[in-house]
Structure 1
Amino acid sequence: GHSLLTLPCSVVLWRRSLSCCMLPFILNGSQLYTYSVCNVGEHEQDNWLRTTFIQRRPSASRVFVELQFIVRDCNSFDGSSLTCKETFNLFSSESDADIGTSFRKGQFKKVATIAPDEITSRNELRINRETRVVESLSRKGFYLAFQDIGACMALLSVRVYYKTCPATIKSLAAFPETVAGGGVNQALREVAGACVENAVSEESPRIYCTMDGEWVVPVGQCQCKPGYEAVNDTCRDCQPGFFKAFVSNDACELCPVNTKLLSSGALFCPCAEDFYRAPDDPTTGPCSGLPSAPRELVATTTQLAAGKLQLSWSPPEDTGGRSDISYSVECRRCEGTACQPCGEKVRLEPASSGLVDTRVAVSELEPHLNYTFTVEAHSGVSLFASQGTPRSNRPPSTSTLTTALHYTGRSLYLGVIVVVVVVVVVVELLYYDDNLDVTTYTVLILEKSSVQISDLSPGTAYLFRVQALSPEGSPGGSSIEDEFETLTEVPPLCLSCICIVLSIMSIYSYSSPEQLKPLKTYVDPHTYEDPNMAILKFASEIHPSHVTKQKVIGAGEFGEVYRGILKAPGRKEGAVAIKTLKPGYSEKQRQDFLSEASIMGQFSHQNIIRLEGVVTKFKHAMIVTEYMENGALDKYLKDRDGEMPSFQLVGMMHGIAAGMKYLSDMSYVHRDLAARNILVNNNLECKVSDFGLSRVLEDDPEGTYTTSGGKIPIRWTAPEAIAYRKFTSASDVWSFGIVMWEVMAFGERPYWDMSNCEVMKAINEAFRLPAPMDCPSAVYQLMLQCWLQDRSKRPRFPDIVSLLDKLLRSPESLKAIADFDPRVSIRLPSTSGSDGLPFRSVSEWLESIKMSQYSENFTCAGVVTMDQVLQMKNVDIKNIGVRLPGHLKRIAYSILGLKDQTSTLSVFAV
């Protein structure tokens, strides 16, 4: 961070400073100057310390205030210090100019109440360090002020700073130092960059700077120009003997064979002398020479008397490094010493030029003539033969044969050899009979593409696999196994049978839906040898011209997420969410990105996010899903805290449970079920999404998936999954219990601000989240069942759906409310006090229960002490202006909890 101010080096102004002074302080042998006050014996303390004017960098609208201070324990004074406090307040005030020593308390607005984590006793010194944020700054500068209302404290230092994302180079794009996001509504700040020297980009490179000063989601990757390669964060010219022909971040390549080695920065390597590239050859490929002459030219004269013969030869010994070798045959007829081309008088089959095979049939020969046949080898670079001098010691590229023929007859038939391969198909029928505990394998050998299998047993599972055999009988590839189950009772007029149609993709059908019940099971796309096949099977391809991106609604791991419109032939135009893959991706990143589509494409349920399709055949890959207008469930609930009735919240839980039941029925484990991964549409219908951590179960119903590493969402994960990294549908049930708690707590963070280590320790010691305010008892009991340590005793998703359905059918069952204990569900910032209450002021209490917006209401109503708060009833709370039902209940429940509290509270025994 960049510091704007550090105290106590700056000049400050005190108000009511008779008992407040700047005193030296010895720490580790060094003398420090501090501001201290200790008027604990006097009533109505109101001491202020203000900083000098702090100039603000224009883009730094969010600054951090780091404080080091000491607060003395009020219990260390005698009984005369009943007004002692252990907190002080931080204020801020904006200004466009330095107002000097002018000071008015009304100019300042409160930032936070500062409470110590460590209280200093008479014998032990405890230094506290706290950091608070001052947001939404817009003027040229600001002041900070500290208000003491009766504490014995010393302020050691104040550091004011803002965070920046440092100047950096990512993907060959340079980004300037940028002040971190400016507030709640600007969590990400988009920053434009510029490609480094000798690099270019199709789109302007940009990146996002987070509020924590970290760069995320670079977009618009820069790539090195031809002749340059990426080395660290620069584009360096190719070294001598290397080249690069295109814009990319690939390394320069070694010049191919038979080329000249140029100096540095080469775009391509030209051919060496007597070597060439064909017109269709890439400039990045090797160069090749001319082929040598065909060898061993012979004439077969088995039908010479009929004027027919066959010429054959062997390929050249040296092909010049090419595979596109072809041949031409020239015929010349000679009478005496005069020779001329044979023309149409001699027939060459299949042709006289462009031959790939090394033989040709000759017919229509005339008697008493001499014939000369010349065979020449050609390649893609033969056209360059006349443009230069052939290399020395290169044999000629033709062979000649001269023969004299005497014959009668006029025709020769050269038959084309046709190889007919008959594919024999084997259908393996695996028969399982659970009653007899017998497995029977039946193999049918067919020479057709369909078969009807009759006399099947009712109530029996059958597994089919199709495998092709070669003509020699050796097995080829086989299809994926497909499973069917016959019904227990077969209709009297219908035989138990299966009609199987065999094709390349092993497509199957059966005689009637009543006879067989397909068992659909999730297929893990990671089992495919080629991940693209999984995409092809489970997702529909969309042409990018049918997708219109409108605005960015988020930033994912692989790129930006847009709201857009899908307008494809045969589909109704509608809003969609579009996940994009940022440029410069690797093939593995592309496969990881599209694997989620391979998973979603297998699901079809109203409570599972629907995949519309994918774009994979074009440069910019995309995943297109249905658009959920209300976004993530946790944010939706936070924005409506206390405004939704329990019946509506239980209805949302029912939809989530129905979606999870569907997934568990497919033997599928989600692994990351949380309110943030539930999306809400305009009809408040909840749909499960985000399948990035999901994996399939093994065939065993109790099977698990063991991860080899990676992150686990601790607050939502079952203890056995955390300890052993094993996941089942039972661990998803635990996560569903946490989601229920999130819903009833209107998106509050599970386990509040406890660390992950504290959460794991608490769970292992049998601690469970308490019931949220106004949570129906039946709903909280279901949560506790989901959080049973023994996973075998947890309810299954069908049981959960059934129970929630019963609650919705009997709304009166939701009227009984679970006990609510604010001492557990709300973290209290201060836990000691001579008056037996955990709070020193009404504002401190309201801040602890996240109701600070009502501080002015309490003050205007004359409720300024905690004793007065304890006397309030529901009607009193309404009368001071608290109208929202959720806020009214939060304040009322907190007052009930305070009445029973002792002077010291321990929030969590962890």
Structure 2
Amino acid sequence: MTMDYLLWVCSLVVPVVLAVEETLMDSRWATTELAWTTFPESGWEEVSGYDDSMSPIRTYQVCNVRQPSQNNWLRTDFIPRKGVLRVYVELKFSVRDCASIPNIPGSCKETFNLFYYESEGDAATDSSPLWRENPYVKVDTIAPDESFSLLEAGRINTKVRSFGPLSRAGFYLAFQDLGACMSLISVRVFFKKCSTTIANFAVFPETATGAEATSLVIAPGACVNNAMEVSVPLKLYCNGDGEWMVPVGSCTCVAGYEPSSDGTQCQACIPGTFKSKFGEGFCTPCPSNSRTSARGANICPCQSGFYRADSDPPDSACTTIPKAPRNVISSVNETSLSLEWEEPEDTGGRSDLVYNVVCKKCLRDRSPCTRCDDNVDIAPRRLGLRQRKVVVRNLQAHTRYSFEVQAVNGVSGKNPIPPVYSTVNITTNQAAPSAVPTVHLMRSTSDTLSLSWLPPEKPNGVILDYEIKYHERGQAMSHTVTSQHSSAKVEGLRAGSPYVVQVRARTVAGYGRYSNPMDFSTSLHSDPQKSVQDQLPLIVGSASAGLVVIVALVVIAVVCLKKQRSGSELEYTEKLQQYISPGVKVYIDPFTYEDPNDAIHEFAKEIDISCVKIEEVIGAGEFGEVCRGRLKQAGRREMVVAIKTLKAGYTERQRRDFLGEASIMGQFDHPNVIRLEGVLTRSCPVLIITEFMENGALDSFLRLNDGRFTMTQLVGMLRGIAAGMKYLSDMNYVHRDLAARNILVNSNLVCKVSDFGLSRFLDDTSADATYTSSLGGKIPIRWTAPEAIAFRKFTSASDVWSYGIVMWEVVSYGERPYWDMSNQDVMTAVEQDYRLPPPMDCPMVLHQLMLECWMKERNLRPKFSRIVSTLDKLLRNAASLKVVTSTYSGDLLRLGGTLPGHNRKSPDSSQEIVRQQMSQTLPIRV
């Protein structure tokens, strides 16, 4: 996703939409008498009147100002609320100025009161509810902005009031007059809502406002047709004025669709255009040599005879295969050949042109030519040539050959027709034979050497004879003899003298090269057969003595190993490790290898497929299925193993990442780290074999066995995990995803660290070695240290933070850290120094160790070596585990004190306390 696209998404705003009002009741609509209920009958009176636009309407008026102690009520008919929480009342009325009325008592008023009464149905009568403030709920005292006198009639006031929250099926409005001379011209009851709108290519439905004027009501959104989510959740807030605000999340048009001109819809690409990716981009014309007649195309298919390579992007032009290379020139030198050629006239429109050279040997009987033997050397290589020149060696003499020079590019494999090529036919010349391989001494006497040799590997014709050259060591003069066969006897030599011997072969083309010089000596004995017999007992005796020494060494080694194994298995493993590789072993990141296959071959053992038997599928991993099976290797007892498979259709990147985890595991050898047995990279599917952990993942194992273990057993599990992490930390290795789900448990309750998919190597050249993850990396928020979340800085100290969370998971028997809080709330709480409380019945010393692991300053957190030492002391002093904390699971704790208003509660009620306290202390982020 490009940065321009991200900036475009962030710039999207909600379109300006005026608030929408929906009327529940309007007295101006009445065409007959309103017949509202009045009390007493001498109070309010219904009359016909006119509104401010002089349209006829039904009004109510009252003017009993000359009589003191007025209490006149007017009640509307039942008004259904239609599910809204807050309603508005618009009142149009006029009030006469008391000063303009002569001879009235001091009780004259210029105001009236507005009330409402909720009900589940139209059940009100002339006497019920009672005509008083309770059960009616007062909304406000309404006063005019302007009153009128007899000379200034017609001044109409408009007032709007709102009330809520409403909870019943409907309500009545009531108006109380306490001695005013007024006219209630019209009453309109309505509510506000945000109308249906489209923002960021998401549709948000019509939404009524909340119960309070300041309420924000969340409206969930859905992408418009032919759009997809790019950030979630999709939601928009409707404020109390019926206006949309604060859009969250966005959608974008899928491939084959572009934004409409008004930016609210995704419309299909017209025929002849396409859009290959989702996003804000627009449809573009089909690339060269491609076309489409369909609407909404995300790719333009290539025309006949044109293709795209698998690595070509969908918006690239279609290309074709190249023509044959031009002007192939050959030059024969005896049994060697030089070939040169020019680039094809048409490369097919591609720049990835390479060449193949195919050698064929042709017999003289006009039978079809066949592929050359493998011993024919074509340099620099036969296939995938970038340069346009090769040298061919090791051809046979006097032989006819045919060479095809092919031009291929990235789409040649798409064409069903074989690559086009240019052909050159040559015949090799006569050539001297190759060198005689070696010379052997068959027998020696005091004056003769009996020699034999193998013919040259390449005679290049009929061998006429062999020449044997010899001279006495230290003498410059040499002598030669010839032989018609591959053996000869050299005579006339001096007894007991060393000689240097060489042999070469001759054909009609001349002599070949001499063999390598060999040293042979004549014998001092007259009978060479007897000399050999005399030496035979000595040879046999020496061989027997050597065999005895070897057997003795083997026995001693076996005894020593048995003695070492008589101790503890851990002690034996540690001694063996010290013996094999003394000193500190440092982890090597396999992803630094240029060829990932080199890493897997260096750190993992290749297992033959015949040794593995898959029995059943026990789960699913990121790359494929996880199975249980058996491994039987030669010289080893059959064992149950876990088998990870790489699913079919994988990409090269998936294969590299899959085997990368094996390259990491293969470097570890510790009782508390999962052991790699080997890999199968030549099979289909590709397999990773590890030891089998009978009880599976630690978190689910604890949940299945809630409350069944003693605290000592739980601390023993934690000690094993800490020991494994100490081993990894000592190797400069950061796990980054330490959690109970990534700890495996065997049948003996031994816990082992596993799942190294997020791990990376620490650069130990600096004092503060860290690993910076990519911006798109996934981070397990609930288990990750704050500096790793904020700055993507992962160290062994961040692993210590995660280990503290694992401690909490173990003691709480697999409960979810931070319960049902959102990730955002978790990050905010941790930043404000809130920490997980001790689980129920948690020893005080364990929770104190957890809090040390969760220190905000990473340099203040304990090292894994100290954690192991602390847990060892607790296991030796079990009494310290009996002092438990008084705070139960479910309440967040602030470092240095508890939350405001904290009381001891049961686990069931404590989560509600957390929510209340968080709402009081955490800022609201919209």
Larger Rg: 2
- Normalising by structure 2, we get a TM-score of 0.43
